[in-house]
Chains A and B, each alone.
Chain A
Amino acid sequence: MKKTTRRTFLAGVAAAVPVVATAAVVPDAAKDNPAFKTCPRATGGKNAHRFPQVLVQDQYKQKAWFYEDLLADKLVMVSFTSVKGEDYYPMLSNLVKAREIIEDRVGKDVHMYTVTTDPYRDTPEDLKALADKYGAKWRFLTGAPEDIREILASFNARGSLYGLTWIGNERTGRWVKKPSQLQPLFIAEAVGRLSTGKQHKPFLVDMLVKNTISRGVPGTQLLAAVREEVKNQ
């Protein structure tokens, strides 16, 4: 991220503290049930009510409201790992490959985030080291453990290992999830399918099924072919 952008971003955070909304409707089943609770929800976007109203910070210690600043009105790819978890269930090298396929778009109209599943341990410094180790050029998020836990819960993520990457377009409210270890092609394809306007590409993989994969082209060549395909369109 460029410095100027970061400064603008900081100003934005300071200026616009989002309104905190509380859950308006409690289902009958949850009433008077100690196992259920309500928590402040974000507002203003298609699926805002699904997300907690919390602050996070990235590996550069830049703070942001999780929903309003990072998700609302954006096309995003959200993955989950931790310094420790990456040893047990590695996914960052795969996501780096997925990013390469759509690298022209990342940081412009596609935003990538990795949320730590271990907010108790992972500091911004730890996450910076982790990102740098894999050459992961996107934002790694941590924050107060209880806040991060709310974020994890909103994606149905449990435990310190969670192998899903969620791709969402909050302009249209559509989300899909892909296993983070899946062939990067499919992760990139989901981004194309959820994109709108010029960037919308519903058929990326199937075209390649017919043209490339069925001919037994090995993975590395396939990736190159995909990148070529994306550039040409």
Chain B
Amino acid sequence: MAKRRDLLKAGAMAVASTPAIFGGAALPRMAQAQLCRPEGIRSPLTEPDSPPVRNYTEPLYIPPAMQPVDPATLTPPPDPNRHQRFDEFQPAKHYVQRFTEGLWNYHPDLSRLNPLNAVFGGFGSIAWMMNGATPGETLVARYGEPVFVRRYNDLPSTENAYMPIGLPYTSTHLHNAHTASESDGYPMDFFAPGEYWDYHYAMMYARNDPREALASLWYHDHMVDFTSTNVYAGLSAMAIFYDDLDTGDENDPNPEALRLPGTYGKYDNYLILHDVRFDQNGNPAYNVFDTDGHLGDLITVNRKVTPYMEVEPRKYRFRIVDGGPSRLYELVLSDGAEMIVIASDGNLLEEPVASKSLVMGPANRHDVIIDFSRYRPGDTINMLNIMEQINGQGPTGRRLEGPDRMPVMQFRIKPLEGPDNSRIPDFLRALPPINLNEVVAEREWVFDHDMGLWTVNHEFFDPTRIDASPQQGTAEIWTFRNAGSSWAHPVHVHFEEFQVLEWNGRPATGVLRSRKDVAMLGPNDVCKAFYRFDDFLGRFPIHCHNNVHEDNAMMKRFDIVPNKGGHHGGDSKWRR
């Protein structure tokens, strides 16, 4: 285990070199409050608190895997002409999802307050759901098995909706699958109540390179101007991609397989974090007039308020995603124990990194392995958030201590039910090489604030304007710059993963040495990233994944265009 000990050291260094998102002057709490004028206090602290809720009393909800349907039952049948390279990647699995309005039991302490229980004949808080649940079913897919999902918008019209926020139009983004534009959930590709949209996921590695494999993804609404509220209302869920290396089977006889803790729903689980504020009726509350961001006062995990999970004293894989809208987290275990980080933004690292805390912003993912074998049945360990944040702009720079730490969830140790054959290999997946000779362009994207809204390159989102047109089959260097000195912007680019060349002028180490799709920019951070553009054409957004900033114009459009040199792998006959 000498290697592991080395990793521990690397982990300590990784913490030290983690991008500084702890900017912000460390003002005492009262002084901070005095900065805010009474009539314009820039903080959700003026929002009423949620009703009292008992922590760790609800079991964690584990969404089932999506179940395929017979394609013959799809009327009309899938239209190959709507999709790029459909014939090449004919769907192996077909799924149907229906988006509806209904009740979701976030917590009985909230559900029992809701007068809508009588209206719906149920028990819960008002929610927009996928196939009757939020999070929706998990898409468990394998590379080489293309997926087709038909999503029906069965939400009520705006005037008939009980959900007080959001707009019942939806466009679903599978974050950050290598998906053609028409299936990617572009913000303007939304569909109305009564309509459906077909999504085709080719399940191909970018550039057919297994080193480009994605593992932990999530899918969520991406409706223009209403992403934050629609996701908050319930339109988010998870996806897992397996392949021959990361198979999801810890007993896999294939010597190549990593045998990470599995299978899905048992020892391989997804935790999606949303911070929610509830009104006095137990329904989600949201201030649409706060363009800085929304903060909830209760943490939900898989849409259960501070749940518990019974675990065996053995290794588990948790894929943790910050589902937003605006909160950043630093997650710790209550006993200060280490977690082994194996993936960043859903992509396996080359080598695991041990860390006592996980810093993540909206849409960031961390896959971690927690080894509960050090505990005994009956023990409990809590997961807590220690990052202080008092408004939607970003963290204050202080850590929460003692009783101020926010409860996230609880692990309860139960007796072991069988042998733990899972491993934490010392080497996971190689990173694809970076060839700077392929770079044909450099671009800079500056994230800033103007006139109460958020800007990229000093401009507001205009979906008809194309701000970059990278050619298919080429590489570019993109620099993301946070011009703000007191706020954070998780920058997300659709379709392609990037590798960090430099973060604030220094090479990436630790968890940052990975393929990523969200650059969590702290105050004044600069991230220089290497991109390649291949396989599909079309329009994609680049935006801040603080959903509230995103809805407030912090978005740009880039189009991947055919390579005039002609040496690309895409289908050049495709035209939108």
A residues at B contact (CB < 8 Å): 25-30, 33, 35-37, 39, 46-47, 50, 89, 149-150, 152-158, 161-164, 166, 169, 171-177, 179-180, 182-183, 186, 190, 193-194, 196-197, 202, 205-206, 208-210, 213
Q: Are B38 and A37 in contact (CB under 8 A)?
A: yes
Within 8 A of A (CB), among B450-466: 450-453, 460, 462-464
B271-297 toward A: CB 8 Å interface, digit per residue (1/0)? 000000000100000011111100000
Q: Are A182 and B49 in contact (CB under 8 A)?
A: no
B159 at the interface (CB under 8 A from A): yes
Q: Which of B46, B287, B291 lies in contact with A36, CB distance below 8 A?
A: B46
Given contacts A36-B38, A161-B451, A205-B464, 6 further A-B contacts (CB under 8 A): A47-B289, A150-B39, A163-B451, A163-B452, A171-B159, A186-B462
B36-53 toward A: CB 8 Å interface, digit per residue (1/0)? 101111000111110000
Complexed CA–CA distance, A187 and B558 (Å): 22
Q: Are B39 and A149 in contact (CB under 8 A)?
A: yes
Q: Are A27 and B288 in contact (CB under 8 A)?
A: no
Complexed CA–CA distance, A179 and B450 (Å): 10
Given the contacts A36-B41, A163-B450, A175-B289, A202 and B49 also touching, CB distance less than 8 Å: no
Within 8 A of A (CB), among B185-204: 188, 190, 192
26 intermolecular pairs with C-beta atoms under 8 Å apart: A25-B49, A27-B45, A27-B46, A30-B46, A35-B41, A89-B451, A149-B39, A153-B39, A153-B40, A157-B452, A169-B158, A172-B161, A174-B288, A175-B288, A177-B552, A179-B460, A179-B553, A180-B451, A183-B464, A186-B462, A190-B225, A193-B167, A196-B157, A197-B159, A209-B188, A209-B463
Q: Are B169 and A202 in contact (CB under 8 A)?
A: yes
Complexed CA–CA distance, A175 and B167 (Å): 10
From residue B546, how far is it (CB to closest CB) to chain A in Å?
A: 15
Contacts of B188 in A (CB 8 A): 205-206, 209
Q: Which of A27, A173, A190, A205 lies in contact with B48, CB distance below 8 A?
A: A27
From residue B146, how far is it (CB to closest CB) to chain A in Å?
A: 27
Contacts of A172 in B (CB 8 A): 158-159, 161
Contacts of A152 in B (CB 8 A): 40
Q: Are A156 and B291 in contact (CB under 8 A)?
A: yes
From residue B99, how far is it (CB to closest CB) to chain A in Å?
A: 16
Contacts of A155 in B (CB 8 A): 289
B423-454 toward A: CB 8 Å interface, digit per residue (1/0)? 00000000000000000000000000011110
Contacts of B576 in A (CB 8 A): 210
Contacts of A174 in B (CB 8 A): 158, 165, 167, 288
From residue A109, how far is it (CB to closest CB) to chain B in Å?
A: 14
From residue B473, how far is it (CB to closest CB) to chain A in Å?
A: 23
Q: Are A158 and B452 in contact (CB under 8 A)?
A: yes
Contacts of B169 in A (CB 8 A): 202
Residue of A nearest to B462 (CB): A183
Q: Are B38 and A35 in contact (CB under 8 A)?
A: yes
B244-287 toward A: CB 8 Å interface, digit per residue (1/0)? 00000000000000000000000000000000000010000001
Given the contacts A30-B46, A153-B40, A164 and B289 also touching, CB distance less than 8 Å: no
From residue A167, how far is it (CB to closest CB) to chain B in Å?
A: 10
Contacts of B161 in A (CB 8 A): 172
Q: Give the one of B33, B46, B161, B188 with max A CB within 10 A.
A: B46
Contacts of B462 in A (CB 8 A): 182-183, 186
B81 at the interface (CB under 8 A from A): no
Given the contacts A163-B451, A177-B552, A158 and B40 also touching, CB distance less than 8 Å: yes
Q: Are A28 and B49 in contact (CB under 8 A)?
A: yes
Given the contacts A35-B36, A190-B225, A179 and B49 also touching, CB distance less than 8 Å: no
Residue of A nearest to B576 (CB): A210
Contacts of A176 in B (CB 8 A): 225-226
B34 at the interface (CB under 8 A from A): yes
Interface of B is mostly: loop
Q: Which of B165, B289, B450 lies in contact with A156, CB distance below 8 A?
A: B289
Q: Which of B48, B49, B159 lies in contact with A196, CB distance below 8 A?
A: B159
B164 at the interface (CB under 8 A from A): yes
Q: Are B463 and A50 in contact (CB under 8 A)?
A: no
Residue of A nearest to B40 (CB): A153
Q: Are A164 and B158 in contact (CB under 8 A)?
A: no
Given the contacts A156-B452, A179-B460, A202 and B192 also touching, CB distance less than 8 Å: yes
Contacts of A162 in B (CB 8 A): 451-452
Within 8 A of A (CB), among B543-576: 552-553, 576
Contacts of A157 in B (CB 8 A): 452
Complexed CA–CA distance, A210 and B159 (Å): 29
Contacts of A175 in B (CB 8 A): 288-289
Contacts of B287 in A (CB 8 A): 50
Q: Are B167 and A50 in contact (CB under 8 A)?
A: no
Contacts of A89 in B (CB 8 A): 451
Within 8 A of A (CB), among B1-56: 33-34, 36, 38-41, 45-49
Given the contacts A28-B49, A172-B158, A206-B463, A33 and B33 also touching, CB distance less than 8 Å: yes
Q: Are B453 and A164 in contact (CB under 8 A)?
A: yes
Complexed CA–CA distance, A39 and B190 (Å): 40
From residue A131, how far is it (CB to closest CB) to chain B in Å?
A: 21
Residue of A nearest to B32 (CB): A35
Q: Are B45 and A29 in contact (CB under 8 A)?
A: yes
Residue of A nearest to B192 (CB): A202
Residue of A nearest to B191 (CB): A202
Complexed CA–CA distance, A18 and B505 (Å): 59
Complexed CA–CA distance, A213 and B464 (Å): 7
Q: Are B452 and A35 in contact (CB under 8 A)?
A: no
Q: Are A164 and B451 in contact (CB under 8 A)?
A: yes
Residue of A nearest to B229 (CB): A174
Complexed CA–CA distance, A156 and B47 (Å): 14
Given the contacts A153-B39, A158-B40, A182 and B460 also touching, CB distance less than 8 Å: yes
Contacts of B452 in A (CB 8 A): 156-158, 162-164
From residue A187, how far is it (CB to closest CB) to chain B in Å?
A: 11
Complexed CA–CA distance, A35 and B42 (Å): 11
Within 8 A of A (CB), among B150-180: 157-159, 161, 164-165, 167, 169
Residue of A nearest to B48 (CB): A25
Q: Which of B158, B463, B552 lies in contact with A205, CB distance below 8 A?
A: B463
Within 8 A of A (CB), among B116-170: 157-159, 161, 164-165, 167, 169
Complexed CA–CA distance, A29 and B36 (Å): 14
Contacts of A154 in B (CB 8 A): 289
Complexed CA–CA distance, A193 and B225 (Å): 11
Complexed CA–CA distance, A40 and B46 (Å): 15
Residue of B nearest to A33 (CB): B33
What are the 10 A-B residue pairs with the smallest beta carbon separation, nearest first?
A: A163-B451, A29-B45, A25-B48, A153-B39, A35-B33, A153-B40, A179-B460, A213-B464, A37-B38, A172-B158
Complexed CA–CA distance, A37 and B423 (Å): 56
Contacts of A161 in B (CB 8 A): 451
Q: Give the one of A35, A150, A183 with max B CB within 10 A.
A: A35
Q: Are B159 and A163 in contact (CB under 8 A)?
A: no
Complexed CA–CA distance, A148 and B287 (Å): 20
Residue of B nearest to A25 (CB): B48
